[in-house]
Structure 1
Amino acid sequence: MWKQISAILVLVVMTLGAGCLGGLSPPAAVPPTIVPVEGASLDHLPVYTFPFEDGEETIRIGIDPAVYAGAKEADRRLHLYRDLSEEEWIPIYYQAFANDSHQEPFYANLIAAFREIRDREGLDDDRYLELVTAFVQSIPYRTDDSITEPKFPIETYGDGEGDCDDKSLLLAGLLAREGYRVALFYFGDEAHMAVGVGSAGCHYRNTPLAYIETTNASYVGIPPPVLSNGTVLASDPLVIPVGDGPRYYAACDQVMTIERALSVSRARVEALAPELGMRAGELEAEKEYIESLGARMAALSRSGEVREYNRLVPEYNRKARDYNDAVRSYNTLLEESRTTVDLYNHLVTHAHDRPGSYLRARAYLRE
């Protein structure tokens, strides 16, 4: 859940100057800005190790203590000099956090670390976007009760934690500077924020953008059916542009295959569960009957009642044969259920590895 937005409507009385130009009108809004605190220092810097594809990556950069301290001490309120609508002033507010010029060296250093991984691993634009996304998603989700407004991205990095708007601002700021078309999704009714990125397919609602959830590990282009607090995103978001570069996400066809495999595998497991339960009950009852019949036959054998014993032998053999066939059938279904559960769990827990998940999803759907 995001933190509140502070907006103040400032009433300004202007007087005309004596010069030929007259008075100057104030801007419509003055957003939050960072004023570096010279002489500031940092006690520690976080080191981020996070899963990506079939391995792990580590990010470690330095940040300017003066800028970090300035972000911490910034006035986070938006000062309005005109009565703007929410659709007008909310973008101004959030764009100020993402685009404060004092953060550009921070962005450059962090991007340099990502590019080193990109070049080493030979990542294309889709996998590179997923790398940056996996990093931001790995930052622990936590709300700082001492701050009632959003954080600047340099704060989120330096603090090693953030909530939905903090992490979304960081991701959007990074992707914008790497040339992606990117925006913030502002869900006012649900008090949530996510990121949208230009995409070929998997568009979110009435936008040309793919949804990215930043609060946890998830696939680009697959919005959550429900948030961790039980909230369902029912409203259309306010789209706040952050970057208008030419890069876009082109792996939506693979993401849709993963999403379909998730849906099909879950439905199959849910369908198998009652069937397995029913068969297990039948097998238990049949086993008890066979054991009872076997005990009766053993008693007949001990008492020398050979004729009655021989009469029951065909029934016992038939029951045992049917039981063994039923066990084999049950075990086949049980193995299918376990395999399907394993696939579903793998896809859910490996959102950081879209290429690998796609191969598994495709193989499952072709079976």
Structure 2
Amino acid sequence: MRQTWRWFGPADVVPLSAIRQAGAQGIVTALHHIPTGQDWTADEIRKRQDSVSGTGGTPTGLTWDVVESLPVSEDIKRQTGAWREHIASYKRSLKALADAGLQTICYNFMPVLDWTRTDLRYVVSHGGQAMRFDLVDFAAFDLHVLARPAAATDYGDAIKAEAAARNAAMTDADRTALAANLTAGLPGAADGWTLDGLREQLALYDHIDAERLRRHLVDFLSEVVPTAEQLGIRLCCHPDDPPFPLLGLPRIVSTEADYRFMLDAVDSPANGVTLCSGSLGVRPDNDLPGMAARLGPRIHFVHLRNVRRQAPVDGLRRSFFEDEHLAGETDMVATIAALQAEEARRHAEGRADAEIPMRPDHGQDILDDIGRGAQPGYPAIGRLKGLAELRGVMTALRHPLHTGLA
């Protein structure tokens, strides 16, 4: 697999020189400063490519390999307002990216909230820090801080009782910090939601259930996939994070069955998967090695990270934290083996995309990461450690002593 690294642009506290020293071959980035629904122009794309490569200065040895993400607007997800104009803009942005040589485009279809965590600096057993989703804290926010009208029907009695006790023990500063964590918006983006803004956005989804949102996803794909196929672009949908409904919002890309539905609905090589072992691994019914094997031909991008599930559990929902890359509950060795088997199959077929780009997703803040102020989940040393571990697994699985070719 091609080893890549997420970079949030010139303002990222992890410089490109450090990324190169970590052993990454390519960069995953996006034009976060362009508002969702507006065109990505050739000039802006070229500027980012030049930044990544060091054109006009010191060469970095890096290339912009994957776009993460070209965002899908809320209007498109709801099919309201300017959604048709936004789809036309999306197609123009795809054309500009293809003209610049970019072929792998990640996106997600999560309504309102992207990845959701209650704690961005949870202290783990060795003293480092990780991101965590605490179900009781989340319920306390939903029931008592946001005070969503329908929230009481979404939780069992035990969780509601724990959430009430947790809320009673919080200070106003605690509630403010929790709300800030949960309304932070897309990684790398400058915008987020106020509580009133979040309430307004949730109200716009009052009449959109999972079935309707799934139809809207298919409508979006029916529009953009033919364009992507014509341009030689591979679109790859990131799963829900976490993979269960939140705040009454439907989640429709949480399981293998969800992926199979969207792939079959618009059957094209350009319609593919971002396999995120961390997002999907929160659910114990998601078999990551099996998904890597069965979805393999349509996997265009891979995020490798691990989570540790925790109590309490309330239906599909559960608490979890981001564990070390080889220490969580997903069998990372088996997952990587399945992905490398898919690459070997592609090589045998002569596919141009035989090498699948991967990145070490997230990472714990360790050593000098602590206090550096990196984007939550994207420290330098924690991801370097994760990439080194994953690289070690990939190297060992390719070794003749393992393959039997010694």
Give the TM-score normalised by structure 2: 0.27
More strand as a share of residues: 2
More helix as a share of residues: 1
Give the TM-score normalised by structure 1: 0.29
**Bigger-Rg structure (1/2):** 1
